[in-house]
Copies of this chain bind each other. A is one copy, B any other.
Amino acid sequence: MRPGRLAYAVLVSRWAPDARERLETAALDLFAENGYEETTVAQIADRAGLNRATFFRHFADKREVLFGGEDVLAGLFAGAIRAASPDATLTECLQAALAAAGTAMTPQQRARAAQRMAVAAANTDVQERGLLKHARIARSINAALRERGTDELTARLAAEAGMLAFTIAVERWMKAGNGQPFPLHAAAALSDLQVRAAELSGISLLRHG
């Protein structure tokens, strides 16, 4: 049963008080019901009980409503790195960043991520926007490491590796049941990648082929 516009707005407002989150929820629901291409900004605003002008105060375009969480993530990653102790190792900085991201990775967020992935799988322009967001988060990690005095290439590699650890952790978290919280997946993914980084560095005694 699909609630009417007013009922929906009331329903949503109970647990999603702000306009931004209401718009995100309405958009994901409409994309699932009618398809991403077919859904208009006006319909999203209408479903959320708001108007188009309010939509555009929060999001530049229809694609952007799918990636509202990415700015939050960029802030969490960078904030944790900035808050790390001055003598923290590179590994400790990335661990702190991934652990901080855990606060955004709620069960509700997991459901949203699944909806978003379904939309992205069918729309190249959504994938493209996702990659742009991904690149921006990597740059925010990079910038936070540079502020600590990390050299340029180390910061760039660490940002890519950190984002790869995050991506792998999200994949595992979405595949697994509700048992394991996100930070455990994140710590395991980072640790798994560190073993591979050793091989990449050429230090490992393991032969590859």
Q: B-contacting residues of A (Cβ < 8 Å)?
A: 85-91, 93, 124-125, 127-129, 131-132, 134-135, 148-150, 153-154, 156-158, 160-161, 164, 168, 192-203, 207-209
Name 17 interchain pairs, CB-CB below 8 A, sorted by A: A85-B209, A88-B208, A89-B208, A89-B209, A90-B200, A90-B208, A91-B200, A91-B202, A125-B128, A128-B129, A156-B168, A157-B161, A160-B160, A160-B161, A195-B201, A198-B203, A201-B201
Q: How far is the CA of A69 from the CA of B91 in the complex (A)?
A: 36
**Interface contact A157-B200, CB-CB below 8 Å:** yes
Q: Which residues of B contact A132 (CB under 8 A)?
A: 124, 127-128, 131
Q: How far is the CA of A124 from the CA of B63 in the complex (A)?
A: 13
Q: How far is the CA of A87 from the CA of B160 in the complex (A)?
A: 28
Q: Which residues of B contact A207 (CB under 8 A)?
A: 87, 89
By Cβ-Cβ distance, the 9 closest A-B pairs, closest first, are A128-B128, A131-B131, A198-B201, A197-B201, A90-B208, A197-B200, A197-B197, A154-B196, A157-B196
**Interface contact B124-A131, CB-CB below 8 Å:** no
Q: Which residues of B contact A128 (CB under 8 A)?
A: 125, 128-129, 131-132
Q: How far is the CA of A91 from the CA of B132 in the complex (A)?
A: 29
Known: A90-B199, A197-B201. 13 other contacts (CB 8 A): A85-B209, A89-B207, A124-B132, A125-B128, A128-B132, A150-B208, A153-B168, A157-B193, A157-B197, A158-B200, A161-B200, A198-B201, A201-B201
